[in-house]
Amino acid sequence: MTEETQANGTEGMPSGDLGRRLAARRAQLGLTTEETAARAGMAPSYVTHVEQHPDAAPGRGALLSLAAALRTTVSALTGGDADVPPGREQARRAPEFTELSRAECAELLSTHGVGRLAVPTELGPVIVPVNYSVIEDTIVFRTARGATPSLASGCVVAFEVDRVDDTFSQGWSVLTRGYARTVTDTDEEQRLAKQAYSAPWSGGRRDMWVCIEPYAVTGRRIVT
């Protein structure tokens, strides 16, 4: 068993909602099972057990220890906040608000797979989530013809990604504005299909590629 396997949560497949969330958060922080266990003050075998057994039922104390070790909340680990929008926690004292550089914005954009697309419609602007990739500084996504995201083609649009950490009342956002176009060249479609790392979660036939070529990228970060 390698540390890489442990850090990626692939030592056996995590089972159950708690197990998957625990493994995903551990991988996000780049922690091995042993490192997580040491932080939580418990045996590595117990962390593995919780990840791999859907019937595992840690007590409140164990959940609090795991949440603290992974810098998150018990609610986040157990899925209690799955249908709750982020940002409900109170602001911390003396937060710092900073503007992100273009390079920082590009790096944050490249790490995400879901963003919010603002498109014009006859009834006014509409914002929808899309799974996206960044290829050669261009935002690309697949959609179905006639679907709301397809209305972006031929328009100037806004595209936003963000991250909110309720545990520490901090986060960041990146806003991109650019011209959206439909990809019509077969060779370009094939190239995008090979390089894109994010596929539509909605499933079904999504064979229309749309590219957003940015003319302005800005970002902000709040830390405490």
Indicate the range of 46-60, 73-87, 93-107, 187-201 predicted with least confidence. Answer: 73-87
| Tens-digit pLDDT profile for residues 11-38 | 444 445 888 888 888 888 899 999 999 9
Beta bridge partners, 98, equal: 221
Residues 6+ apart with CB under 8 A from 151: 119, 120, 121, 126
| Tens-digit pLDDT profile for residues 168-214 | 667 889 999 999 999 998 998 888 888 887 777 677 678 899 999 99
User: What is the pTM for the complete model shown?
Assistant: 0.63
**pLDDT mean over 103-121:** 90
- How many Å apart are CA 131 and CA 137, to the nearest integer? 16
Does 72 or 101 have the greater pLDDT score? 101
Task: Supply the pLDDT for residue 9.
Answer: 39
Please say if the pLDDT value at position 58 is more than 80: yes
- How many Å apart are CA 162 and CA 155, to the nearest integer? 23
Percentage above 90 pLDDT, the chain: 42
What are the domain boundaries of the chain? 3-78, 96-223
Please say if the pLDDT value at position 77 is more than 80: yes
- Topology of domain 3-78, per CATH? 434 Repressor (Amino-terminal Domain) (1.10.260)
Asked whether 57 and 17 are in contact (CB, 8 A), the reply is no
- Topology of domain 96-223, per CATH? Pnp Oxidase; Chain A (2.30.110)
| Tens-digit pLDDT profile for residues 143-172 | 999 899 999 999 999 999 998 766 566 788
Q: What is the CA radius of gyration of the chain?
A: 20
